[in-house]
Structure 1
Amino acid sequence: MAVRAGSLVGRAVGAAVLAFFLLVVSTATAIWWTARQDSRPASDAIVVLGSAQYNGVPSSIFEARLEHALRLYEAGVAPVIVTVGGKAAGDQFTEAEAGRDYLAEAGVPGDALLPVQEGVDTLESMRAVSAAFDERGWGSAVLVTDPWHAMRAERMAEDAGIAADSSPTRQGPAVQTRTTQFRYILRETAAYLLYRATGESVAGAPGIG
């Protein structure tokens, strides 16, 4: 009887391990698939997810996102670009300010730029953007971020009440090599599963939290 009970426990553990493995694989595949999409319907705003900035100068990852958002704006996807992100301790500029200033220098009119200077991770940023949307009666957005971050960003935006599509950038360090891409997919898989399980975000590298 004890042997049979042990066998049942072993099967249950094996089934749980297999189920978890399949969940991880299916999530990673969905992240990869979403990363390959480019949805750009007419929307209320283009939302650029923040990344690191250095004394007001966007990092290479952030710059790639801003350049992509600029192309979407010029294509008429939305009349406004929202830059989002707060600042770390000791910083003089927020990510939102750095992004706004970069786009202003690129020729985007001031009334077409909205900096939302809150959020130290994606979840906080999306909630801040949702509040800004509510104030203006907006409901739809095209999100600009790195390809591997797109699925989680969409989910968080939708959970915050925004009808979100994503148009990931194809430039920048996050897409340079297959090794880099694989590392980002693994990291995003863990972050997405954590969010779905707990409703919380995770602090990490730019664009990962």
Structure 2
Amino acid sequence: MKKILTIAAVLLFLIWGYQVTILALAVRDQAQKEEARPSEVIVVLGAAEYKGKPSPVFRSRLDHAFDLYMQKMAPRVLTTGGSGGERVHTEAEVGRQYLADRGIPVENIYVEREGATTAQTTAASAEILKRMGWNTCILVSDGYHLFRAKKMMTDYGLDCVGSPRPAKDAGYLQTGWLYLRQAVGYSLFDLGIRF
């Protein structure tokens, strides 16, 4: 009986590993795809902020969203992200201020300031979009992050496309790790484990 359970566990692990590998390839494909098209809102996934200033990664996401806004891909932007442990600022508010300073009217910038994880942020963002009557969005993040975040948004019934921020090429190992990590994250999300 013990041998049968061990074999079953190994088989389940191999099947899961195969599925994660297939997902990692899908993550890679999405990361390299620019899908921006006219939509109702641009959703910028948050990243770290330092004392009211966006981190380089967050700034790059915001700059990309600004460019899409200026190309008239959407008439409004939703910045996202909670406090990340800081008491004064949230990523969403820092993003709003950064975009306003660049010239987007404040009334065209909405905020989702509660999300601490991708699952929380996409859930809260989807709720805001639905409450406002918006069904289409351009999701801006790092390329490797878009597959999982986009799937989460579409699970809420939104018509969502991905637009990766411009980024420096990373090495094969680092890039592969990022794809694999996102594949595992989505696999767990699909199993009902939210983080």
TM-score w.r.t. the length of structure 1 is: 0.85
Give the match for residue 91 of structure 1: 87
After superposition, where does 1:1-80 map in structure 2 within 5 Å?
Answer: 15-80=11-76
- How far is the alpha carbon of 1:124 from its aligned partner? 1.1
Give the match for residue 183 of structure 1: 177
Distance 2:127 2:184 in 1: 27
- Count of matched residue pairs: 195
- Structure 1 SS opposite 2:164: coil
Question: Which ranges in structure 1 are unaligned for 5 or more consecutive residues?
Answer: 202-209
Alpha carbons of structure 1 residues 121 and 10: separation in structure 2 relative to 1, 3 Å: closer
Distance 1:91 1:178 in 2: 37
Question: Which ranges in structure 2 are unaligned for 5 or more consecutive residues?
Answer: none
Q: Which moved further from structure 2: 183-192 or 73-82? A: 183-192
Write the deviation string for residues 103-132 of structure 1: whole angstroms up to 9, x where unpaired: 111111112211121110111111211221
- How far is the alpha carbon of 1:89 from its aligned partner? 2.9
Distance 1:18 1:55 in 2: 45
Cα pair 2:140 2:165 within 8 Å, conserved: yes
- Structure 2 SS opposite 1:164: strand
Give the match for residue 162 of structure 2: 166
Larger C-alpha radius of gyration, 1 or 2?
1
Give the match for residue 124 of structure 1: 120
Distance 1:91 1:179 in 2: 36
Determine what percentage of the aligned residue pairs are the same residue. 31
What amino acid is aligned across from residue 67 of structure 2 in structure 1?
R
- How far is the alpha carbon of 1:188 from its aligned partner? 1.0
Distance 1:110 1:178 in 2: 40
- How far is the alpha carbon of 1:176 from its aligned partner? 3.5
Distance 1:44 1:17 in 2: 42
- Structure 1 SS opposite 2:191: helix
Give the match for residue 82 of structure 1: 78
Distance 1:108 1:9 in 2: 60
Give the match for residue 110 of structure 1: 106
Distance 2:86 2:64 in 1: 29
Q: Which runs of structure 1 show a deviation greater than 6 angstroms over 4 or more consecutive aligned residues?
A: 8-11
Cα pair 2:20 2:180 within 8 Å, conserved: no
The reply to whether residue 193 of structure 1 matches residue 191 of structure 2 is no
Distance 1:101 1:134 in 2: 24
Alpha carbons of structure 1 residues 15 and 167: separation in structure 2 relative to 1, 3 Å: same
The reply to whether residue 134 of structure 1 matches residue 130 of structure 2 is yes
- How far is the alpha carbon of 1:46 from its aligned partner? 0.3
- Structure 2 SS opposite 1:198: coil
Cα pair 1:55 1:91 within 8 Å, conserved: no
Q: Which moved further from structure 2: 80-89 or 177-186? A: 177-186
Distance 2:56 2:167 in 1: 9
Write the deviation string for residues 150-178 of structure 1: whole angstroms up to 9, x where unpaired: 01101111122321111111226xx4333
CA root-mean-square deviation: 2.1
- Structure 2 SS opposite 1:129: helix
What amino acid is aligned across from residue 129 of structure 2 in structure 1?
F
